[in-house]
Amino acid sequence: MATASVASHSDAAHDHHDHEHHDNFITKYIFSTDHKMIGKQFLVTGIFWAIIGGLLSLIFRLQLGFPDMSLEWLRPILGGWITPDGALDPEFYLALVTMHGTIMVFFVLTAGLSGTFSNFLIPLQIGARDMASGFMNMLSYWFFFVSGVIMFISLFIETGPAGGGWVVYPPLSALEQAIPGSGLGMTLWLIAMTFFIASSLLGGINYITTVINLRTKGMSFSRLPLTIWAFFLTAVIGLLSFPVLFSAALLLVFDRSFGTSFYLSDIYIGGEALPNTGGSPVLYQHLFWFLGHPEVYIVLLPALGITSEVIATNARKPIFGYKAMIISMLGITILSFVVWAHHMFVSGMNPFLGSIFMFLTLIIAIPSAVKVFNYLTTLWRGNLIFTPGMLFSIGLVSFFISGGLTGIFLGNSAIDIQLHDTYFVVAHFHLVMGSASFFGLMAGVYHWFPKMFGRMMDARLGYIHFWATFIGVYLVFFPMHYIGIAGFPRRYYSWTGFEFTNMYTDLNLFVSVAAILTFAAQLIFLFNFFYSMYKGRVATLNPWRSNTLEWTTPLHPQHGNWPGEIPSVYRWPYDYSKPGAAEDYIPQTVPLSATPESNLPHEQELVKLEKEIIADEEAVLVANESTNS
């Protein structure tokens, strides 16, 4: 086995060397099969979508915070969606909410986060030349791109984009008579999501295969960085749950276009009784949330993985409870599939199911709590360096706590009766899933920027960006808890129609102003990102003095990542501040036999084994050399 793998590695290196010279602009930047370039493509596309998604939210925040403001100045962009008296059209308001959710959840936090970092980091951190299938990987990006193009077009059509909320519950999403967005806009939504699901599956299969099959010598599962564990489990969740969304969408297509009644029953709309009977809208909700809930963890786990890596590196301390972290993530992965119906406590499903799902839901809080305590203990007695990546990671932990705790209210079906579909829910998931994942994305960008572009981002701008965003996010979402406890329902164009919601105009105004400022703070990031790409300070090879394998590549790794042999791995990735060691970090490529002064007793045992393996390998190398020449 050893012989085969070493031989194939050197062959691969040789092939790539030949290949480099034939790269032209199109194969290098557009139809690239290099995982690093694909990762960057996902990142830049994700940033584009984040800007669009953010701007959409600002438009509806203007409506909520300044209901009397004339939006006439938006007419050049929105045209007919601004009513003659200068207000936002209520149906377009719903479309904005829908598109904001769809774009942020799928295009930014799934593709932008998983797509970027799974692609970029998996081969680099496990010691592989590329993904298992570079071609499928390229397809994954281009399916995503096509999906994005279709979704983007749907923003501009006459009847408007889909407007039934990002969950697109039928019958609203199935009946054109109910809301104009359920016409062509919804068709495009369904087509776009189909491409997106295909993209996710192509990517996910690749991530899983790569992690299982292409780890370098010595990189056992128990030596994988937590980032890779997170990406791996995320891909598993996606692979098992996205097909269910596809089936939900497919049945919806049938109901919309071919007269079936999977979700439709007993409907009288627009002055006529429809022939559909026997369908169940609740069926759709079950299918949707079977993806929808795991989706929460699809966006969150990669962020937690990135955070684990960034916190350990910058605390100069091993992550506390490496095994417990993995077990928690495994627990979250499994449990994420059996909690979906907590989104449906008051959907009319059997209340007995409600009881079951309440128990299961609160179980999933336990591994999440373990992760928080482990992060805190990792910080404890560390030697903390506040790089922008580290700041964003600490911010993530804060959001994860704040948003996670409100999940305990919502997971309790008795309390959920009042809070369901109010702003309390909006506050909850924007903190725990939206902001936490976004901060994971930011932490990752700041941390791995030097590896992506060979230059450093400006740290001071990073600090300003962090503090503005961190404070801003809390100012936007914390007040929503109060509004939610007061019972303000979600997706309301205006609250003046009810006595009980005819207040808090001041708080809503405050939230809107905070949202605009927080969005503006992202311009600092955009400047820093694009400017540093070309003009940033040139990075050193291992700027954060980190242990993982990606920092052993050249400053600008070519396709194939390592110019010569792929390095072997001899230890776990968290040997920071090991007693006895000269430096406060020992990269994974340093053999245990080279560090007798810092080895722990059980590691000393492994040294002998390690020496035998090294001797073996050298023999093979010598043999290879002689046959080649």
Partner 1 sequence: MYGFLIAVGTLLLLSIIWMVYRIQTLVSVVKGSDKKIASGSNKINALMFVFFLIGATILMFWYSIKEFDNYQLPIASEHGVITDQLFWVTMAVTGVVFIITHILLFWFPYKYQWKEDRVATFYPDNNKLEVLWTIVPAIVLTFLVIGGWRAWSDITAPAPENSHVVEILGYQFAWEVRYPGMDNTLGEHDYRLTSATNVSGVDFTDKNSLDDFMSPVVVIPKGEPVLFKIRARDVLHSVFAPHMRLKMDAVPGMPTRFWFTPTKTTEEMRRETGNDEFVYEIACTEICGRGHNAMRKEIRVVEPDEFRKWMSEQKPYIVNNPSLVEGLPADLKELAEITISEHK
Which residues in 543-582 contact partner 1 (CB under 8 A)? 545, 574, 576-579
Q: Does 501 bind partner 1 (CB under 8 A)?
A: yes
**Dist. CA 346–CA 344, nearest whole Å:** 5
Q: Does 355 bind partner 1 (CB under 8 A)?
A: yes
Contact with partner 1 (CB under 8 A): which of 2, 30, 212, 503? 503
Positions 583 through 612 that interact with partner 1 (CB under 8 A)? 584
**Dist. CA 390–CA 394, nearest whole Å:** 6
Tell me phi and psi for residue 553, to 5 degrees: -80, 165
Q: Where is 256: in which H helix or E strand?
A: helix 226-257
* Contacts (Cβ under 8 Å, ≥6 apart) of 181: 91, 94, 95, 98, 159, 160, 161, 162, 163, 164
Positions 134 through 193 that interact with partner 1 (CB under 8 A)? 163-165, 169, 171-172, 175, 178-179
The region of 154-162, 198-206, 235-243, 397-405 touching partner 1 under the rule CB under 8 A is: 397-405
Beta carbon nearer to partner 1, 241 or 501: 501
Beta carbon nearer to partner 1, 231 or 574: 574
Positions 66 through 105 that interact with partner 1 (CB under 8 A)? 90-91, 94
DSSP 297-357: HHHHHHHHHHHHHHHHHHHTSPPTTHHHHHHHHHHHHHHTTS-GGGG-TTTTS-HHHHHHH
Structure tokens at 461: 């701008």
CB neighbour class for 409 (10 Å; exposed up to 12, middle 13-18, buried from 19): middle
Half-sphere exposure for 90 (CA within 13 Å, toward CB):
6
Q: Does 409 bind partner 1 (CB under 8 A)?
A: yes
Q: What character string, x for contact with partner 1 (CB under 8 A) and - otherwise, covers 289-328?
A: --------------------------xxxxxxxxxx----
The CA-atom distances, in angstroms, between 605 and each of 217, 233, 601 are 19, 32, 7
Q: Does 460 bind partner 1 (CB under 8 A)?
A: yes
Beta carbon nearer to partner 1, 38 or 335: 335
Please tell me whether residue 82 adopts helix, strand or coil conformation: strand
The region of 28-36, 139-147, 494-502, 619-627 touching partner 1 under the rule CB under 8 A is: 494-502
The region of 1-9, 108-116, 301-309, 385-393 touching partner 1 under the rule CB under 8 A is: 385-393
Q: Does 619 bind partner 1 (CB under 8 A)?
A: no
Beta carbon nearer to partner 1, 86 or 487: 487
Alpha helix positions (H), 486-558: 505-535
Contact with partner 1 (CB under 8 A): which of 85, 268, 538, 602? 268
Q: Does 385 bind partner 1 (CB under 8 A)?
A: yes
Structure tokens at 211: 């992690």
Contact with partner 1 (CB under 8 A): which of 28, 142, 490, 517? 490
Beta carbon nearer to partner 1, 27 or 260: 260
Q: Does 2 bind partner 1 (CB under 8 A)?
A: no
Contact with partner 1 (CB under 8 A): which of 49, 470, 525, 570? 470
**Dist. CA 544–CA 529, nearest whole Å:** 18
What is the nearest approach in angstroms of partner 1 to the Cβ of residue 69? 18
Q: CB–CB of 593/611 below 8 Å?
A: yes
C-alpha dihedral, 138 to 144 to 150 to 155, nearest 10°: -140
Q: Does 209 bind partner 1 (CB under 8 A)?
A: no
Closest CA to 118 of 238, 233, 231: 231
Q: CB–CB of 396/443 below 8 Å?
A: yes
Q: Does 369 bind partner 1 (CB under 8 A)?
A: yes
Contact with partner 1 (CB under 8 A): which of 102, 402, 553, 588? 402
Beta carbon nearer to partner 1, 165 or 243: 165
The footprint of partner 1 on this chain (CB under 8 A) covers a number of residues equal to: 118
